[in-house]
Amino acid sequence: MKSTRSGQQLNGDTIRSGNFAETASRFLPVCRADMEEREWDTLDFLFVTGDAYVDHPSFAMALIGRLLERHGYRVGIVAQPDWRGTEDFTVMGRPRLGVLVGAGNLDSMLNKRTAGKKTRSSDSYSPGGRAGLRPDRATIVYCQKIREIWGSGVPLVVGGIEASLRRFAHYDYWSDTLRRSILLDSQADVLVFGMGERQILEIARLLDEGYPADALLDVPGTCYVTEDIGHLSSFVELPSWEAVKGDKKAFAEAFRLASLEQDPLRGKTLIQRYETRNSPQPRGNYLVQLPPALPLTEEMMDEIYDLPYTREWHPRYDGLGGVPALSEVKFSVTSHRGCFGSCAFCAIHAHQGRIVQARSHASILREVENLTRMKDFKGYIHDIGGPTANFRHPACLGQTRRGACRNRECLFPRSCRHIDTSHADYLELLREARAVKGVKKVFVRSGLRYDYLLADGEGGREFLTELCRYHVSGQLKVAPEHASPLVLRVMRKGDLDRYRKFMELFRAANQELGKKQYLVPYFMTGHPGTGLPEAVELALFAAELEFCPEQVQDFVPTPGSLATCMYYTGLDPFTGEKVVVVRNPRERGMQRALLQHRAAQNHALAREALLKAGRGDLIGRLLALKH
């Protein structure tokens, strides 16, 4: 049944009229009473999520839900449903157009399990930080329940970080197995990868016009399963499921081929065959990934972040201690998305893309002004940034015309000569934000790429001086990640000399300002390429800095990252070179103990590590113990 509601235009898209102005400031419905208050008898979309409902643009259910609401659709939220029954899923009835499913802001397995595969004791995306309110592999479990309730008659769309990064055959660290595309295991109709705004609006339009779910075959930024690929004029075929599960080189090649096409301007359609002998797949044998969706324009970014979020958790959580994750972002502002850093261990560039998309200063300043009016605002903006704070524009003009370069990185092994390193726009934005009435201080807490800052020369120094003067409170966190040249090369990170140069500039800037402020470096252990000799290099560098971290980031092989491919295969998929991989829990523990060598409880394991590495000469130096 097609909608008969009238429409209006915004940014070239049809927006259907309705009672948006009357309802926008309230939370989206979570129960039948909420629907009745709005005089709704039926939803257009039901959004099922593994996170508690927080009406903030950092939470997918709020961002996508508000966007659909803005375009005239009726959206209800089912947050953290009890997957053992059906009542939570059916409380608002069968939706008219479809069900949207996401596991939450984190992959559900990463959310529930540590690097040591132990169950986490808390969940910051749940009320009161309570653990256990979402199932393992939440996307699959929720979809199975929806199919059980409504069968194949309701269009089912999956998205979010879990679905996005598990869209091809992938390695699952927690089961230590290869798994099929999550689209096959969930039995959803469509998988949205990437951030999803363009895709979800187009899917909503097509479904509202009466197209069946199996006809959604040309929406960029989506995947579907089909038994016939005759409609595709050109594509790149990845090694099949049967090939990758029997051959690690084939898995590495599939990762390489897929990575090369993850660009919205030059990327090609990808297919991966899942037919197994005597066992055809019920929905077809071919997974099809269309090229990524186009980056959002500044106007589109402004529209999304200008939506009337309450920036609060749903009142149903008030008596349960609220939702802890909100405290990290409530008074922070997203200024842009996307990252051209392409670190091996990070999948942000695979999810948000390598082409940076930014909001206008006017939109950001409106949000800052709105924050100053909130009753619990104390005058401090916790962050204005994105995945990488000082990436406020595309790496170069060429990215906007032809996409990100194929087989080349913007900053690794050194900065590209075409890269636009200017910090002027970000610097001006910070100046404007701290001038807003009611703002005492604006912090920068997003990741900062110091190699990019150094490449800006005098502009970078000017930015660093103002950063230290106005936007740092005692400590600035940066991420050199490691000290070993070999590991840094595997990580796709710059050499240590650049970090040393940044330390000098940071020290000089603070000395000139008369401030005592410190760099806090993030280091990672257990990353592919790291054996005990490399772990010793890192421990020595930490000792040189007189720094012993209280917490250490132990590498976790999450789906979709280059480092995870290396961890599983022992190969660099782009060069074919072998990569050292440490899987033994005790040796991984040795690497952590070496980095945290000052802690007395780590002395025995660190000593064992030094002896095993043939560096017993360092025992007295690092551990203050007799050999």
**396-407 pLDDT, tens digit each:** 999 999 999 998
Would you say the pTM of this structure is higher than 0.85?
Answer: yes
553 pLDDT higher than 70: yes
Percentage above 70 pLDDT, the chain = 94
Backbone Cα Rg of the chain? 25
CA dist 477 → 250, 286, 471, 517, 523 (Å): 39, 45, 12, 11, 11
Buried b (16+ CB within 10 A) or exposed e, 545-584: eeeebeebbbbbbbbbbbbbbbbbbbbbbeeeeebbbbee
248 pLDDT higher than 80: yes
Residues 281-338 pLDDT 10s:
566 799 999 999 999 999 999 999 999 999 999 999 999 999 999 999 999 999 999 9
Average pLDDT of the chain to the nearest whole number? 92
Assess contact for 40 and 292: CB atoms under 8 A: no
Instruction: Quickly state the pLDDT bin for 15 (edges 50, 70, 90).
Output: very low
Domains of the chain and any CATH numbers: 7-219 (3.40.50.280), 331-464 (3.30.750.210)
Q: What 3-state DSSP class applies to 333?
A: strand
Question: Cα(464)–Cα(98) distance, rounded to whole angstroms?
Answer: 49
User: Secondary structure of the chain: what % helix, strand, coil (to 5)?
Assistant: 40, 15, 45
Residues 157-206 pLDDT 10s:
999 999 999 999 999 999 999 999 999 999 999 999 999 999 999 999 99
280 pLDDT higher than 90: no
